[in-house]
A = this chain, B = another copy of it.
Amino acid sequence: MTNPVLVEVLRGAVVESLHRGAVAVCDGEGKLVWEIGDTAKPVFPRSAVKAIQALPLVESGAADAYGFGDRELALACASHSGEPEHVETARSMLARAGLDETALECGVHWPGNHAATIALARSGGVPNALHNNCSGKHAGFLCACRHSGVAHRGYVAAGHELQDMVRDAMEAVTGAAHDADHCGVDGCSIPTYAVPLRSFAAGFARMATGTGLGPVRANAARRLLSACMAEPFMVSGTGCADERLMKAAPGRIFVKMGAEGVYCAAIPQLGLGIALKCDDGAIRAAEITIAGVLAKLLAKDEDLAGNLHGQAIQPILSRNGVKVGEMRPGGALVEQL
């Protein structure tokens, strides 16, 4: 099936570009309460499931042993923008486990935050693996290995004991089999598994409610989502959509973007999980879509819904800073809002 239009990009009065995709909203029992498009099709969740991938860090006792609070747990679930606070927090997480950035196997890239890149270059510096947007997740992986007595070298590879723990957590929480036929390698070198989009929505409803997870996992899940909601900057960075959306309703909205147009989210008070994927992989469209979906689900709180609806409409500016267009919910998303 062809997924419907979710987002339209206008220049002046003309629709210049369109984005299609699918949205699933589930409860903790796995019941689909709302969907747009094909939510049964397997998709790679990419970084949108980092909070689930961080469960072994907490469940193993490593997070407590190393004294991690909300900031460290949020960074373990983050795609951060390489700003100094992110880098220093990742460094300190590793130090508590007796490691440094040379243990990270995520690769190196310049900070996602432009000002951080310029400042690093101006200081004569070059990036290292701590600047990688996944360094917090990888620091969490390494801490889980160290605390559990697992040799950490090669921890990114499918088949390493740590990745088995991560996959087991993913399967248990999403309820979907993670098999080798649907396994790819993520940008930071760890395995990523394509499973039905709706399974991720169900998984994040379970992360928020604990439904069916058992007490240890349910507690770890709540701690991780609470940490992200308490420290949205650590999950993302200055001006990022994740920070903006979680700041709109502290403690009431969890969101996490993933590469190639994915978002996962949860609204704990409603017991709902959300997962969406834009067919074309556009993160700009995923940001509009998640804001629009949250506005719909939280419509009863008019102030909050107004804020979220505002975030679902983003101006397009010329290089002189003049508004020349906008991105907004369109097609199936607007019909259902």
Contacts and interface: CB of A to CB of B under 8 A. Distances in A.
Contacts of A12: 183-185
Nearest to A14: B194
A44 interface: yes
A12 B322 CA distance: 42
A106 interface: yes
B322 A185 contact: yes
A184 B124 contact: no
Contacts of A117: 117-118, 121
Given A12-B183, A184-B14, A110 B114 contact: yes
A194 B14 CA distance: 8
Interface stretch (A65-73, A214-222, A274-282): A274-282
Interface in A170-190: 181-189
B185 A318 contact: yes
A243 interface: no
A2 interface: yes
Contacts of A14: 42, 44, 182, 184, 194
Contact of A185 (B11, B110, B114, B281): B11
A260 interface: yes
B189 A319 contact: yes
Contact of A17 (B110, B118, B181, B281): B281
A133 to B, nearest CB: 9
A205 B18 CA distance: 28
Contact of A184 (B18, B108, B279, B325): B325
Nearest to A321: B107
Interface residues of A, number: 53
Given A279-B17, A324-B184, A189 B11 contact: no
Contacts of A106: 319-320
A16 interface: yes
A13 interface: yes
A9 interface: yes
A319 B132 contact: yes
Which of A14, A16, A107 lies at the interface centre, i.e. has the most chain B CB atoms within 10 A of its CB?
A: A16
Interface in A2-30: 2, 9, 11-14, 16-20
Nearest to A319: B107
A231 interface: no
A109 B320 CA distance: 9
Given A11-B192, A12-B185, A13-B181, 6 more contacts: A11-B44, A12-B184, A20-B20, A20-B280, A107-B319, A108-B319
13 contacts: A2-B2, A14-B184, A16-B194, A16-B260, A17-B278, A18-B279, A106-B319, A110-B114, A117-B118, A117-B121, A184-B324, A188-B318, A281-B282
Interface of A: 2, 9, 11-14, 16-20, 42-44, 105-110, 114, 117-118, 121-122, 124, 132, 181-189, 192, 194, 260-261, 278-282, 285, 318-322, 324-325
The 8 closest A-B pairs by CB, nearest first: A107-B319, A17-B281, A12-B184, A11-B184, A121-B121, A280-B280, A185-B324, A107-B320
